[in-house]
Structure 1
Amino acid sequence: MTELTPEDIAAARAEGEGEVVALLLLAAGLPVNVPKQRVSKPAVPSDNVHISHPGAWPTGTSRPAPVPAPPGPQIEAALADYRRWLVADRPHASTNCPCPGCTPEGSR
């Protein structure tokens, strides 16, 4: 490339300012050092907004699933057992419940 025509310059201007500079450098026989394009990391929007609330579930977790209702025969058996206990004038139960709400030493 030795000569520039007005059409070449007009086409370079249509491409952008950097193209005119590159065209002139090539016409002068100089190397064109094209700067590397900056690659910006796309900002990934987070769906996880953390607002601390005392006593709230930690961020990213959820409450446990609800306990399913017991089947009908199990409910009837428990009611029958309770009624027998009431009719027998509430005798001392010999069961050992591990629940800390039932027995103070149940959590041991």
Structure 2
Amino acid sequence: MTEFSLEDVKAMRRDGSLRAALRCQIADGKRRRQPATPAPAAPRPGHTPGAWPAGTSRPAPIPAAPADAWTAALQRYRAGTQTGNTCQCGGCTTPTQEDR
């Protein structure tokens, strides 16, 4: 029943059920407007959730630097040439221990 006749409305007003009938119609309309829930996507073949893709592996750990590399880096830092950029203009000088 989607529409009420004039007699139906008069009868519902007399017995006090008009408000409930109108609320039912509103609820039915809201229910019809809600979009259907989408179907879940089919899983990809060979896919394992939470795992690395097939044919791959996690990255290898970074190898430890040799001890003499740490010593050389410390010497470059103390000499002020830790970046490895040395100026070729001749006008720039590296600060010495006395200048520091």
Q: Under a length normalisation based on structure 2, what TM-score does the superposition of the two structures give?
A: 0.30
